[in-house]
Amino acid sequence: MPTRPAPVRHLDADAVAELTAAAAELLARHGDPTSPALLADLPAVCARLSGPLRRHLRPVDTPDGLFVLRGLEVDDTGLGPTPAHWSAVGRAGALWDAVLLLVSAAMGTPIAWDGQQDGRFVHNIVPSPGHESEQTGASSSVLLTPHTEDAFHPGRAHLLLLCCMRNHDAVATTAASVRLTDLSDADVAQLKRPVAPILPDDAYEQARRFAGRPAPVPTLFETPEGLTMRYDPAYTPLDDADRAWREAYGRLGEELARVSVAVSLEPGDILVVDNDLVVHGRVPFRARYDGTDRWLKRASARVEGRPTRPLAEHGEHGYGQAALTAWTV
């Protein structure tokens, strides 16, 4: 896998102080990062951020489709042990929930899902006993296959944000941009065809029981700025597709592997991924379940009016899953 570094935006001391103070203010005013009042207050607080900080918090704007926001620091001792399940987090790292919500609100509109982690706008990604080999964020012992976040849903995020709380073992997140691949025109044409559906992943129990018929969706879509992608091979029934499409899909996977980078996040780092350009995954690791395992916080955002999705997606059922937006909770 290539070792070229991911693009980094460095926050200086003034920017770090401003961002953390704004997050602390939100918590002091509303008490809980899951509070609807805190979510509703995000636009007003973001509007008061300084110009230099807001420039750091602009969305992804390069073909790499990602960057690392660096400069924030996590107090490992004060954070407490890594929980064994997202539901056991409680208020641990609450300041970082507020930080991540501010960053995502500066870039777009934070979203959540009624069927995932109790509708929270910030998810906690920790290895959980019994889930080691799943294709979800709770896994550890298997390669988390590169994928578009929530690829099964037409309302999926445009931007994915991963904030590192703890990563003692330097476990790498993998990422690859479709705009760095070298695909033939014939392969692109094949993958623009809506041939196979993308099914909900194991984190969406209700969606996996949805009675509606899965509809095929295109893997690639052309926009004025270049190709965008909707890709999740672990949840795509490839055997039902025709041979020409499968072969093109296989070559896309090979190209994504060729241009993939591995990003070992440090505590306080926020990886921002353009979910229309970049697939992300994670290398395998051995979970100890002793309170020191890798711990990330995850947020998602939409950028309204962005022309990166086929119009046909508006008619999809989304397997019955409703996306929640921060301003309307």
pLDDT tens per residue across span 239-260: 989 999 999 999 999 999 999 9
pLDDT of residue 277: 96
pLDDT tens per residue across span 263-272: 999 999 999 9
User: Does the pLDDT value for residue 21 go beyond 60?
Assistant: yes
Give the pLDDT band of residue 1 (cuts 50, 70, 90).
low
User: Does the pLDDT value for residue 3 go beyond 70?
Assistant: no
User: Does the pLDDT value for residue 322 go beyond 60?
Assistant: yes
Instruction: State the average pLDDT over residues 134-152.
Output: 89
Give residues with Cβ within 8 angstroms of 205, minimum separation 6: 115
What one-letter code names the amino acid at 221?
F
Domains assigned to the chain: 8-328 (3.60.130.10)
pLDDT tens per residue across span 285-298: 999 999 999 999 99
pLDDT of residue 4: 63
Give the pLDDT band of residue 143 (cuts 50, 70, 90).
confident
How far apart, in whole angstroms, are the C-alpha atoms of residue 191 and residue 252? Answer: 9
Question: Which of 241 and 329 is assigned the larger pLDDT?
Answer: 241
Give the pLDDT band of residue 2 (cuts 50, 70, 90).
low
List of E strands, the chain: 8-10, 66-70, 109-113, 123-125, 144-147, 159-166, 173-177, 220-223, 226-229, 261-263, 270-274, 278-282, 295-302, 323-325
Question: HSE of 289 in the Cβ direction (CA atoms, 13 Å)?
Answer: 12
Give the residue among 15, 19, 25, 17 at the shortest CA–CA distance from 52.
15
User: Does the pLDDT value for residue 174 go beyond 90?
Assistant: yes
Instruction: State the average pLDDT over residues 48-64.
Output: 94
Mean pLDDT (the chain) is 93
User: Does the pLDDT value for residue 161 go beyond 80?
Assistant: yes
pLDDT of residue 329: 55
Give the pLDDT band of residue 27 (cuts 50, 70, 90).
very high
Give the pLDDT band of residue 307 (cuts 50, 70, 90).
confident
Q: What SS3 class is residue 314?
A: helix
CB–CB of 172/6 below 8 Å? no
Here the contacts of 309-313 (C-beta below 8 Å, separation 24 or greater) are: 309/154, 309/221, 309/228, 309/276, 310/218, 310/221, 312/194, 313/154, 313/217
pTM of the model: 0.95
pLDDT of residue 135: 83
CB–CB of 152/207 below 8 Å? yes
Give the pLDDT band of residue 130 (cuts 50, 70, 90).
confident
How far apart, in whole angstroms, are the C-alpha atoms of residue 22 and residue 302? Answer: 22
pLDDT of residue 133: 86
